[in-house]
Amino acid sequence: MKTGFVVHKADGNTHVFMPSKKGLYTSEVKKDTAHVMINTVDSMKKYTVSEYANAQKARSIQDIMGRPATKDYIEYVEIGLIPNCPITKQDIIRAEDILGPNLGSLKGKTTQRMPGRVTINTLDNLPDRMLEEHGNVTLMVDIMYINKIPFIMTLSRAIQLGTIEMIKDERKSTIIKSLEQVINAYHGRGFKVRHILVDRQFECIRNHME
């Protein structure tokens, strides 16, 4: 008598795996069920241990970034949008070969057309009351890290407008440039940034910002 095992999925469904004549455990797939079959064993034979490890790392970073399309992901790596990037274009291509397409980057994108460019107009029609009551802005600023990549986060107290920007490093000049862009955006719409709340990490820019 053959002995198999049952996989219980989170949605309540189950899959029964039984040994084939060659000893490999398999499960019958229904025609109306979406699956991606990946022959990882054959794919792994083509690469060294190091290449396989880098492919795994490339897929992990893609997931952390929100699963961008592979074409866009390669472009980000090639033009240096990911600071201290530990992977290359070839690592991304190997990840596709070994692990198959990233399903998270495919969902909802296969039939979607690229939308037209969004034009952001200056807020000339802001209600007078908005500028009268909240014209003086208090800005809260901090640096946060995602996978050791620094991002400058800002949030205005009353307006509750948030911004986020990935920065290449945490040098004084880089931080100042990022904050000046945010401040100019407020000033260009009639607001005035009067106070900036930060921690001691920003002590190096105190004199300049004052």
Per-residue model confidence as pLDDT tens digits over 69-100? 888 889 988 888 888 888 999 999 998 888 88
| Residue 114 belongs to a domain | no
pTM: 0.41
Q: Cβ atoms within 10 A of the Cβ of 66, count?
A: 8
Domain limits for position 192: 128-209
Encode pLDDT of 5-41 as tens digits.
787 776 777 878 888 776 677 777 665 555 555 555 5
Q: In this model, does residue 113 exceed pLDDT 70?
A: no
Amino acid occupying residue 50: S
Looking at the domain assignment, is residue 123 inside a domain?
A: no
Q: Please give the angle made by the CA atoms of 37, 103 and 148, to the nearest 5 degrees.
A: 125
CATH code of the domain containing 169: 3.30.420.10
Q: Do 95 and 17 lie in a common domain?
A: yes
In the listed set 106, 139, 161, which residue is the last one of a domain according to the structure? 106
Domain-terminating residue out of 72, 106, 140: 106
Distance, in Å, from the CA atom of 172 to the CA atom of 122, rounded to the nearest integer, reads: 29
Q: In this structure, is residue 115 part of a structural domain? A: no
Q: Within a domain: residue 112?
A: no
Do the strands 192-197 and 5-8 form a parallel or antiparallel pair, or are they unpaired?
unpaired
CA-closest candidate to residue 86, choices 62, 104, 103: 62
Structural domains in the chain (count):
2
Give the per-residue pLDDT at 135.
Answer: 86
